[in-house]
Amino acid sequence: MLRLDERHRGRGLIALLGGLVLGAIAVVVVSKSTPALSSIDAVVVSVGLLLLLAGSLLVLLGIAHWLAGRDSTWPVDTARAALVAVALVLAFVVAPAMWMHAMRLLGPEWAKDLVSLLYLAVVVAITVTLLRTPKKRTGPSGVSAYGRTLIRR
């Protein structure tokens, strides 16, 4: 499970700034080749959109680092929920829609549908992996809840 704490707050600023730079580079790359007219343009646009998505998620991760370790209050929890909602909308709605819009002049349709399906499968797999709770040890630990050593009789 993805865990953030106060030890990694300095990395949040790096992620935020890195995401902004990566996003700016991606916008320049994508804007020159949209809409895709050839297969080379399609590759350039696809890579550019993936860079844009990665930059956007890095910005969200930087904000998440800033929120890590703060007390659980209504505004902080609302901001955390909004970050998750924005990340899911970016991954499941914005990125596929931008890609389909950039590829609108290329055919065949089934190839675009297949790439979209594979992309969504990867995003779902990554999301499930990050949100999965770690398994707890079920065996005897040798220490009681009060800190005393357990003795077998």
**Is cis: bond before 35, omega within 30 of 0?**
yes
Evaluate whether residue 141 is within a structural domain.
no
The confidence score (pLDDT) of residue 8 equals: 57
Q: Is the dihedral of CA 40, 41, 42, 46 positive or negative?
A: positive
Is pTM beyond 0.85 here?
A: no
Residue 48 CA: distances (Å) to CA of 43, 57, 123: 8, 14, 17
Domain extent, residue 71, equals: 6-131
The confidence score (pLDDT) of residue 140 equals: 59
Gyration radius of the chain over CA positions: 21
Residue 2 pLDDT > 70:
no
The confidence score (pLDDT) of residue 1 equals: 40
The confidence score (pLDDT) of residue 33 equals: 72
Evaluate whether residue 26 is within a structural domain.
yes
The confidence score (pLDDT) of residue 87 equals: 85
3-state secondary structure of 143: strand
Number of domains in the chain: 1
Alpha-carbon gap, residue 5 to 64, rounded angstroms: 10
Evaluate whether residue 112 is within a structural domain.
yes
